[in-house]
């Protein structure tokens, strides 16, 4: 079976991490983020996958080549201008080899989902649907596309990001399309699947079905959800074919070092060659390769970029430190603060609660 992976977005909500690296390629528990979904798709029977690239396209082929490393075939279709989600699907479909009746799996490159992809494909075939969407259940559907279904599973409406969503079933960003349906998406212009394609297919009387499964699911689009997703991979809450769960709560990649008196846990991933000094505490965080947390520093629910340094006694909570930046001694960064790549904060430049 073939699949299309949407990986052309700019990942603006995850800046500054996405300035140098596209969101789907950010390191997540030792591998690029998208590798978790790609290998899950492979294990569900996908043998060939078309990457729909745009932003920093060349980095994807550098990371994945022809796919042989993962035991599948990977090809690349690059948009000159971003075509939006459905425009990208239409554009990438030129590289598919299957016939018009075949199912094609479409994945967003920034989702972590433990749902049963094989069961979604089987439901699509059984219903002879044009499109079958994975729908997941969330507590607050206002930030998502709410998708009510009839008792027989047929989608009855698409309500994008509404203050009054009709249901807490939301579009989870994993679709099965009948290939011939993709050819109806207009070519050569930007098209949104959520705002245009799905509502139009529904209005045209096509069979659109919801596959509802409330397995682990996370849209890894913001720093907070990125950190949570990586920690869940490390702890095994999100099952991935390429990660073994770490009961002790931390994943240390090659060459990472942790001083004996440091405390590291909560699903923290410590990148290749990264170092954590004596007495430091690192909780539920992501340390990219070659980053340094000096003695006595505290890092909680934060990302420390590649080669970045958190100096002695500094505190980070819910923050992002860009690649190569330095947070000088004694700084206290809280509440979503983002330090740009290569910035240098001198000693106690930022202090929220001075003693």
Sign of CA dihedral 120, 227, 19, 14: positive
Smallest gap from residue 4 Cβ to ligand GTP (A):
9
- Shortest approach of ligand GTP to residue 57 CB, angstroms? 9
Cβ-based burial of 69 (10 A; exposed 0-12, middle 13-18, buried ≥19)? exposed
The answer to whether the Cα torsion of 27, 32, 34, 35 is positive or negative is negative
Q: 354 near 337, Cβ under 8 Å?
A: no
- Tokens (6 digits) for 301: 């629910």
Q: Is 15 in contact with 338 (CB distance < 8 Å)?
A: yes
For 62, phi and psi rounded to 5 degrees?
Answer: -65, -40
183/344 with CB nearer ligand GTP: 183
Report the C-alpha gap between 250 and 33 in whole angstroms.
17
Of the pair 33, 297, the CB lying nearest ligand GTP is at 33
Rounded to a whole number of angstroms, the minimum distance from the CB of residue 238 to ligand GTP is: 17
* Residue with smaller CB distance to ligand GTP, 109 or 271: 109
With respect to ligand GTP, which residue has the nearer C-beta, 193 or 327? 193
Distance separating alpha carbons of residues 26 and 55, to the nearest angstrom: 14
Backbone dihedral angles phi then psi of residue 19, each to the nearest 5 degrees: -70, -45
Q: In the complex, which residues of this chain contact ligand GTP (CB under 6 A)?
A: 6-13, 23-24, 52, 54, 79, 82-85, 88, 108-110, 221
> Of the two residues 221 and 322, which places its CB atom closer to ligand GTP in the complex?
221
Tell me which residue of 194, 147, 152 sits closest to 170, measured CA to CA: 147
**Torsions phi, psi for 92 (to 5 deg):** -70, -20
CB 182, min distance to ligand GTP, A: 14
Check if 126 is active-site. Answer: no
Phi, psi of 86 (to 5 degrees): -75, -35
Does the bond joining 321 to the residue before it have cis omega, within 30 degrees of 0?
no
Q: What is the DSSP letter of 220?
A: -
Q: Which residue from 111, 112, 54 is spatially nearest to 81, judged by alpha carbons?
A: 54
CA distance 104 to 90: 12
Closest approach of ligand GTP to the CB of residue 51, in Å: 8
Q: Which two tokens stand for residue 220?
A: 């890894």
> With respect to ligand GTP, which residue has the nearer C-beta, 112 or 321?
112
The β-bridge relationship of strands 169-178 and 250-252 is unpaired
Residue among 198 and 307 whose Cβ is closer to ligand GTP: 198
Q: How far is the CB of 326 from ligand GTP (least distance, A)?
A: 26
Beta carbon of residue 81, minimum distance to ligand GTP (angstroms, whole number): 8
DSSP reduced 3-state for 34:
helix
Q: Which residues are catalytic?
A: 161
């Amino acid at each position: 079976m073939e699949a299309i992976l949407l990986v052309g977005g700019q990942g603006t909500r995850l800046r500054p991490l996405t300035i140098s690296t596209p969101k789907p390629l950010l390191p997540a528990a030792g591998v690029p983020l998208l590798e978790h979904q790609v290998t899950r798709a492979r294990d569900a029977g996908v043998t060939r996958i078309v990457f729909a690239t745009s932003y920093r396209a060349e980095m994807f082929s550098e990371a994945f080549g022809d796919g042989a490393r993962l035991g599948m075939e990977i090809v690349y279709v690059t948009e000159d201008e971003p075509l939006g989600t459905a425009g990208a699907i239409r554009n990438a479909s030129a590289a598919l080899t299957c016939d018009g009746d075949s199912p094609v799996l479409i994945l967003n490159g920034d989702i972590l989902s433990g749902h049963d992809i094989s069961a979604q494909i089987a439901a699509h075939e059984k219903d002879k649907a044009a499109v079958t969407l994975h729908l997941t259940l969330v507590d607050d559907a206002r930030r998502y596309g709410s998708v009510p279904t009839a008792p027989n599973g047929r989608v009855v409406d698409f309500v994008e990001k509404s203050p009054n969503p009709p249901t807490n079933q939301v579009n989870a960003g994993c679709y099965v399309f009948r290939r011939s349906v993709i050819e109806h998406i207009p070519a050569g212009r930007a098209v949104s699947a959520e705002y245009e394609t799905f509502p139009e297919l529904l209005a045209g009387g096509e069979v659109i079905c919801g596959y509802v499964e409330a397995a682990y699911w996370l849209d890894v689009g913001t720093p907070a959800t990125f950190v949570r997703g990586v920690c869940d991979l490390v702890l095994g809450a999100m099952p991935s074919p390429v990660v073994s769960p770490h009961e002790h709560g931390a994943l240390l990649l090659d060459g990472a070092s942790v001083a004996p008196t440091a405390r590291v846990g909560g699903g923290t991933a410590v990148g290749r060659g990264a170092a954590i000094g004596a007495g430091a505490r690192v909780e539920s965080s992501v340390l990219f390769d070659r980053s340094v947390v000096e003695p006595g520093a505290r890092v909680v629910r934060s990302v420390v970029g590649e080669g970045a340094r958190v100096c002695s006694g500094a505190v980070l909570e819910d923050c992002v430190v860009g690649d190569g930046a330095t947070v000088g001694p004694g700084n206290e960064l809280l509440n979503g603060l983002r330090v740009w790549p290569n910035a240098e904060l001198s000693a106690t430049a930022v202090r929220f609660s001075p003693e």
